[in-house]
Structure 1
Amino acid sequence: MGIPVRWRKAVSKYGWRWLLSALVTAVGVLYALNIWHSDAVVRLDNLLAGERMKLEAPVLDPRIVIVDIDGKALTEFGRFPWSRNVQAQLIRQLTEHYRVKAVGYDISFPEPDTSSGYGVLAKLAAQELRDVPLLQDKLNSLRSALDYDGLFASALRGQPVILGFNLSPDQVKGVLPPPLFSEADLNGRELLAYNAAGYEANVPVLQQAAAGAGSFSVVTDLDGVVRNAYLIQQVGEHYYPSLAVATSMLYLDALAVKPLLTESVDQLSQSQLDSGGYDALTILLRERKQRLIPVGEAMSTVVQFRGRGGPAGGAFRYVSAADVLTGRAPQQLLQGTLVLIGTTAPGLVDLRATPVNPEYPGVEIHANIIKSILDQRFKSRPYTAFVQEAGVILLLGLGLGLVLPLLSPLRSIVLGVSVIAASIGFNLYLYHVHDLMFNSAMLILVLFAVFVLNVAWGYFFEVRKGQALVSRFGEYVAPELVAEMAEDPEQYNMDGESRELTVMFVDVRGFTTISEGLTPKQLREYINLYLTAMSEDIRDSHRGTLDKYIGDAVMAFWGAPVAFADHASRGVATALLMQASAARLNQDFLARGWPALKIGIGVNSGLMHVGDMGSSIRRAYTVMGDAVNLASRLEGITKVYGVGIAVGAATRAAAPEFAYRELDLVRVKGKHEPVAIFEPLGLLADQTAQQQAELALWQQALAELRAQRWEAAHAALLKLPETTALYQLYRQRIAYYQSHPPAADWDGVTTFETK
């Protein structure tokens, strides 16, 4: 019995799409089963896991309070590290005044505190000042008050305080607390935990006085981000708790912590075994109660970061250590709580990169673990997760790849987007409701790839539209703008519209004389080098639209076809850049024996009509309107005032980050209303005090002139550089007005009768 005809037709029509979908799915399955690896997918999984964690809104836990050695505390009690007498005062406040239930220090004290100066005094009493009879007696009476370690130990003794220590590969400082258990207690069983060669712990007098100690070491991944933390660490033959475990034990009044191996099925539910991997911990409480902690590789746990961290993070209450030391903190905020002492002050190196915040307080990492222990809720990855992930990729990848070719384009898009959204939603459901962590990056990539493969015709259709757009706009705008437009060609067309834009006209000064002094070949190279440099400044440096060349003149505009809110700023910046480019070209031209190059630029902003304009024979994408005409007039006016650039008042107002020198009030041909024109000098922030003073003096001269106070105006101009063409022009004007006073109705406007 042969294959039905309709199936043969389907294979012929859709076979290649089914095959490609199957290949993509196979790659995903191989990755999920750890047969093939990709660092890029791992990074994407980490990124998605961080975003997933951010979606869980933090809920303030009143049981855990962070006493923060913050900037306020440093201001009131001096720089860190504080003397141990201050730490003693802090502990007495917390335990005796505020009556907290447990304290965990995210700080270690590996060296004795000699800041009291007692050692120096004792040395003086034994040597240089040994003949002073009362000094030794006085020193003995002060000994206890100046023994800061003793004061701190006295405050710790008998109080529920856990000190912190750090694991180290190359040093041994201080003493460790009594271990939780040792290798001998495991009866020959192997417990894989992080094994440190050394440690930086606390001085004996403090450790012996404290209720215990815990390691505040965390796991930093290769990308520098903290995602996991060890709950148990090994030093030599002994196992020690983390700061979070030790402080939780104290808060819960626990008797001991013991490891449970997977073989102890009678003590763990299957879900706990699945989520915990090979091992788990149990915190033994009184009255035969216990709390189970699922753990992963090397007795670690995934940190569930709540909120974005810090006092404004919303998960834990922060209280400044200054307010605790002075008693300003309200009693009800701290009484009966578990307190962690740490720091968020900049420069104290306890901010860690985490999936939710690149500067996350290290002390809050321990707070998050403690909350998980108290709530008995841990985010954990099932031991069989890789098999489940591979099965889901296989099912959804093949299913989507099989169905999509049979659907219309619209239904294909709806189904593809729905399946991807549903897979993401189910992953979030498992994470937030059941605390189960599954990787989702490869599943999303497979589904997306299958979806794209099966709607490729639409993609290629858009590419063809984009290519048509490139051919239409490629000569006008920069390549990166064309690429941006090609991504969404529906938004762009050549239809006429009115829009606020900035337009520029550029012209070479004395081009007729230049052309007469060069051979045709030299003139072609001269103009080509000039136009190329100007066009690059317009298109490539500031993403302008190159309108046209008019002989040696250039016309350009900003704000269309791609809209820019800062079109005026781009136009002014381009004009300044073009003058700099012209100066560089001029040096080259003079070195070749060619005529000097000088250009004039007119820039104006305003409402213009932009679009595809012309005749049935030839058309162009260009701008028209009064604002365009004014820019053309401004280019010509630059010659009168001896400046390289002239801009209109609208451009000046729209680009306030530049410094401008007002040139005049002018009435150009074809317009009755006068307009103010300006010369841009550069960025306002770059102007020196001398330049600013010159501008102020120039503005004063203009004001005096317009008030017809000729002597005062002339006096101001005499203080300005004599070589500046603009100032020379105004000196001549003043001399003329002094001998030929203007009419009584003179408004200070210069009228131009020619273009």
Structure 2
Amino acid sequence: MRLLPAKFTKTLSKYWKRWLLGMLITAIGVAYSLALFGNDTIARLDNLWAGERMKLEAPTLDKRIVIVDIDGKSLTEFGRFPWSRNVQASLISQLVDHYKVAAVGYDISFPEPDTSSGYNVLEKLSQTELKDVPVLRQRLEELKPMMDYDGVFAGALQGKPVILGFNLSPDQIKGALPKPLFSEADLNGRELLAYNAPGFEANVSVLTQAAAGAGSFSVVTDPDGIVRSAYLIQQVGDNYYPSLSLATASLYLKALAVKPLMTETADQLSQNQLDSGGYDALTILLPGRKQRVIPVGEAMSTVVQYRGRGGPQGGSFRYVSAADVLTGRAPAELLNGTVVLIGTTAPGLVDLRATPVNPEYPGVEIHANLIKSILDNRFKSRPYWAFVAEAGEILVLGLALSFALAALSPIRASLLGVAVLAAAVGLNYYQYSEEDLIFNLAMLVLVIFSLFVMNVVWGYFGEVRRNRGLVSRFGEYVAPELVEQMSEDPDQYNMDGESRELTVMFVDVRGFTTISEGLTPKQLREYINLYLTAMSEDIRSSHQGTLDKYIGDAVMAFWGAPVAFDDHASRGVATSLLMQASAKRLNQDFIARGWPELKIGIGLNSGLMHVGDMGSNIRRAYTVMGDAVNLGSRLEGITKVYGVGIAVGESTRAAAPEFTYRELDLVRVKGKNEPVAIFEPIALAQETDDATRREVQRWHEALAAVRAQRWDEASAIVAELRALSPQRGLYELYVERIAYFREHPPGEGWDGVTTFETK
């Protein structure tokens, strides 16, 4: 009795390995989402997607927030920066008294007293060198209120809705801090884990006391240099201070107080609450018992929601030149009732920060984005249950894809993978843009991609295994290495025609007509099969040549295509020597059987050839053509004339210099006008013995003597060589040639070239 249906059993047997691997990939994704391990690369991918996700939201102009820009135009009209505090006083007076702005935030700090009026110098002179000039002392007292620029600025700040900015510093204490939002004593014994700065660089005391408040420059720079978040609350000693954006927004909203808020009991704390000591939000108390709640994360920070690309052309906030404000040229309707942030974009003064949306983002606009979020009461936040939702999504989609992709065709699997990926990205963006929820996406995308790639690769190797049978069958008839290469990587290897530097070989059996007459048809078939098999194995297996075709008893092969080899000439020469050795081995077997002797001639040439799929509509072949191919064929025929087993062209010898060669002659073959030198390869130079080297050297001396028409010297050397190797047909040829030239001198214009009129 079967426990499982036959169809299910068959499916399980076919796909269980893929399913198991898919489940393993899914499990890794779930483990990462549950924070069982971390990975910097995945975190960087999440950050990258977060930036791209922000860019997708089209910027809208917020008319409530205006940036008064100390730009190049302002510096031209009012001098270099920093400006004297009396200019800053004029700027505040214009903004508040003339333009009726609702709140001003300074993205600039004033930690040092302003002595640019020169009052201190004059006062010192009145006490030293000019102390005998009473009128000077009296006049200075009269001018002091005008020349005390800090006092002038403080007077302009008094009673105005202006928030100054200050820095928290790890190594110094300078200036005076404003009144804190609250202290540790106000927390009733609970701990609030905010960033605790050991020092500060605040504004001079007179300005701090005069302003409506002050806030810290609180941006958080991540290890990769990107500003993605900002602290809303920071601690110095026992006191807690707001950021510039929180203080400015609170002033604009006429907030009564800002306090930390815990929304759940201690045994239900979220991860964000644990990171912030139990508090997961700030509450801004407003008139009329209203309040505005701001969610916060680790160390009382919040994610900055960037809008637009930043700058005057960014499209999110209006920029107004400080010069136009100071001179009254700015339209009143642009500033009336707005929140103004004073910052600078002037060359050399630009406060630029790297952000997810722009590597050069104006720092003042970071505060503008935070203020907008506070005013809109809308923050992008990562819920404490996000990791559970992400793990669940990976688990469900991962298991579903693990089972589905294994059983689908490549096209359907691709469509399903793209559809699931698009749905995951779309849902993530919807949650971000419409529900203001931040969820990580990188691990889910990696799981989907990994499952798809795993199934594609698995299917690919399955196809490769199936193709091997095809290769083995067709490899008997066409070059199997070509079929295999094209089946494994059809994009890289094709049969299109092209010109390429190659080496071609032609091999032929000497006296084949006589051999065929001395054997029965069955014996002749076995004779040829044994010969062709041995030659083909030497070409393909030993040196990876491409077997082109059999032409009766002849063999044609080449090196350098379809797989390119830089050493194609060396492979060809080495193969020709191996084939001669194989022919001698076969010959011993043939003679033992009483069969005719086997001798082969090999022609080898290198050069530019046309290679590709050539032929007719009826039959085609991957082959080579060209003058270099024709010369290789001529060289095979020439071996008979010179009594050698191998003849190679001059280009082959030059491309394979690691062999020892015997030059045979300068020849002009049929169909070519230019003479070429031809050579007989003997062996690798390092394997050539001293006796062979001396013989080759003496032969080249004889050849030089022949070309110089020194017949007696040439005759003596050839006779010496014949005595050493009486069987070498080359020496016999030159004995006859020297005797002929003695009787018929070629004359002074002889070029030493032998011309062949037949193929």
Short-chain TM bin? 0.5 to 0.7
Match of 2:373 in 1: 372
Match of 1:332 in 2: 333
Match of 2:9 in 1: 8
Match of 1:533 in 2: none
Q: Residue 111 in 1 paired to residue 112 in 2? A: yes
With over 3 angstroms needed to count, the CA separation of the structure-2 counterparts of 1:61 and 1:461, relative to structure 1, is farther
Please show how residues 86-125 of structure 1 align to structure 2 within 5 Å.
Answer: 86-125=87-126
Once the two structures are TM-superposed, the CA of residue 492 in structure 1 deviates from its matched residue by 9.0
How high is the TM-score relative to the length of structure 2?
0.61
SS at match of 2:193: coil
SS at match of 1:229: strand
SS at match of 2:287: coil
With over 3 angstroms needed to count, the CA separation of the structure-2 counterparts of 1:275 and 1:194, relative to structure 1, is closer
Match of 2:624 in 1: 619
Match of 1:238 in 2: 239
Distance 2:120 2:10 in 1: 96
Identity %: 70
Please show how residues 531-546 of structure 1 align to structure 2 within 5 Å.
Answer: none
Structure 1 stretches of at least 4 aligned residues deviating more than 6 Å after TM superposition? 268-277, 461-464, 485-489, 546-549, 613-617
Letter of the 1:61 partner, please give it: D
Distance 1:26 1:617 in 2: 50
Distance 2:149 2:398 in 1: 67
SS at match of 1:455: helix
Are the aligned partners of 2:613 and 2:622 in contact in 1 as well (CA < 8 Å)?
no
Are the aligned partners of 1:612 and 1:621 in contact in 2 as well (CA < 8 Å)?
no
Distance 2:119 2:464 in 1: 80
Distance 1:51 1:487 in 2: 38
Are the aligned partners of 1:275 and 1:382 in contact in 2 as well (CA < 8 Å)?
no
1:198-225 deviation digits (Å, cap 9, x = unpaired) = 1111101101110000111211111111
Once the two structures are TM-superposed, the CA of residue 488 in structure 1 deviates from its matched residue by 10
Once the two structures are TM-superposed, the CA of residue 116 in structure 1 deviates from its matched residue by 1.1
Match of 1:653 in 2: none
1:556-606 deviation digits (Å, cap 9, x = unpaired) = xxxxxxxxxxxxxxxxxxxxxxxxxxxxxxxxxxxxxxxxxxxxxxxxxxx
Match of 1:510 in 2: none
Once the two structures are TM-superposed, the CA of residue 81 in structure 1 deviates from its matched residue by 1.4
Match of 1:304 in 2: 305
Distance 1:368 1:413 in 2: 41
With over 3 angstroms needed to count, the CA separation of the structure-2 counterparts of 1:368 and 1:109, relative to structure 1, is same
Q: Residue 222 in 1 paired to residue 227 in 2? A: no
Distance 1:371 1:25 in 2: 40
With over 3 angstroms needed to count, the CA separation of the structure-2 counterparts of 1:424 and 1:487, relative to structure 1, is farther
Once the two structures are TM-superposed, the CA of residue 75 in structure 1 deviates from its matched residue by 2.2
Distance 1:188 1:269 in 2: 17
Once the two structures are TM-superposed, the CA of residue 462 in structure 1 deviates from its matched residue by 11
Please show how residues 343-422 of structure 1 align to structure 2 within 5 Å.
Answer: 343-348=344-349, 350-422=351-423
Match of 1:170 in 2: 171
- The number of residues matched between the two structures is 499
SS at match of 1:380: coil
With over 3 angstroms needed to count, the CA separation of the structure-2 counterparts of 1:344 and 1:269, relative to structure 1, is farther
Distance 1:260 1:621 in 2: 87
Are the aligned partners of 2:226 and 2:353 in contact in 1 as well (CA < 8 Å)?
yes
With over 3 angstroms needed to count, the CA separation of the structure-2 counterparts of 1:142 and 1:407, relative to structure 1, is same
Distance 2:464 2:454 in 1: 15
With over 3 angstroms needed to count, the CA separation of the structure-2 counterparts of 1:119 and 1:461, relative to structure 1, is farther
Match of 1:208 in 2: 209
Are the aligned partners of 1:611 and 1:621 in contact in 2 as well (CA < 8 Å)?
no
With over 3 angstroms needed to count, the CA separation of the structure-2 counterparts of 1:24 and 1:260, relative to structure 1, is same
Match of 1:443 in 2: 444
Q: Residue 72 in 1 paired to residue 77 in 2? A: no
SS at match of 1:287: helix
With over 3 angstroms needed to count, the CA separation of the structure-2 counterparts of 1:35 and 1:379, relative to structure 1, is same
Distance 1:410 1:117 in 2: 81
Distance 1:229 1:462 in 2: 54
Distance 2:308 2:461 in 1: 43
SS at match of 2:289: coil
Distance 1:216 1:191 in 2: 20
Once the two structures are TM-superposed, the CA of residue 496 in structure 1 deviates from its matched residue by 6.6
Distance 2:34 2:396 in 1: 15
1:340-375 deviation digits (Å, cap 9, x = unpaired) = 011122332511111111111111111111101110
With over 3 angstroms needed to count, the CA separation of the structure-2 counterparts of 1:172 and 1:274, relative to structure 1, is closer
Please show how residues 176-191 of structure 1 align to structure 2 within 5 Å.
Answer: 176-191=177-192
Are the aligned partners of 2:218 and 2:232 in contact in 1 as well (CA < 8 Å)?
no
Are the aligned partners of 1:275 and 1:383 in contact in 2 as well (CA < 8 Å)?
no
Distance 1:118 1:214 in 2: 30
Once the two structures are TM-superposed, the CA of residue 11 in structure 1 deviates from its matched residue by 2.0
With over 3 angstroms needed to count, the CA separation of the structure-2 counterparts of 1:233 and 1:301, relative to structure 1, is same
Letter of the 1:70 partner, please give it: D
With over 3 angstroms needed to count, the CA separation of the structure-2 counterparts of 1:131 and 1:460, relative to structure 1, is farther
Please show how residues 39-50 of structure 1 align to structure 2 within 5 Å.
Answer: 39-50=40-51
Distance 1:74 1:621 in 2: 76
Match of 1:63 in 2: 64
RMSD, aligned CA: 3.5
Distance 1:223 1:383 in 2: 25
Larger Rg over CA atoms: 2
With over 3 angstroms needed to count, the CA separation of the structure-2 counterparts of 1:274 and 1:167, relative to structure 1, is closer
Distance 2:72 2:228 in 1: 27
Once the two structures are TM-superposed, the CA of residue 404 in structure 1 deviates from its matched residue by 1.2
Distance 1:294 1:351 in 2: 27
Distance 1:337 1:270 in 2: 37
Please show how residues 116-135 of structure 1 align to structure 2 within 5 Å.
Answer: 116-135=117-136
Once the two structures are TM-superposed, the CA of residue 3 in structure 1 deviates from its matched residue by 3.3
SS at match of 1:206: helix
Match of 1:23 in 2: 24
Match of 1:713 in 2: none
Distance 1:488 1:338 in 2: 64
Are the aligned partners of 1:275 and 1:381 in contact in 2 as well (CA < 8 Å)?
no
Distance 1:183 1:343 in 2: 36
Once the two structures are TM-superposed, the CA of residue 4 in structure 1 deviates from its matched residue by 3.1
Match of 2:151 in 1: 150
Letter of the 2:325 partner, please give it: V
Return 5+ residue gaps in structure 2 as ranges.
466-485, 501-563, 570-609, 616-620, 628-759
Are the aligned partners of 1:341 and 1:363 in contact in 2 as well (CA < 8 Å)?
yes
Match of 1:586 in 2: none
Distance 1:318 1:611 in 2: 67
Once the two structures are TM-superposed, the CA of residue 119 in structure 1 deviates from its matched residue by 0.6
Distance 1:303 1:402 in 2: 40
Match of 2:713 in 1: none
1:394-445 deviation digits (Å, cap 9, x = unpaired) = 1100111011112122111111110011000000000000000000000000
SS at match of 1:445: helix
Letter of the 1:249 partner, please give it: S
With over 3 angstroms needed to count, the CA separation of the structure-2 counterparts of 1:421 and 1:236, relative to structure 1, is same
Distance 2:626 2:143 in 1: 91
Letter of the 1:402 partner, please give it: F
Are the aligned partners of 2:272 and 2:280 in contact in 1 as well (CA < 8 Å)?
no
Letter of the 1:440 partner, please give it: L
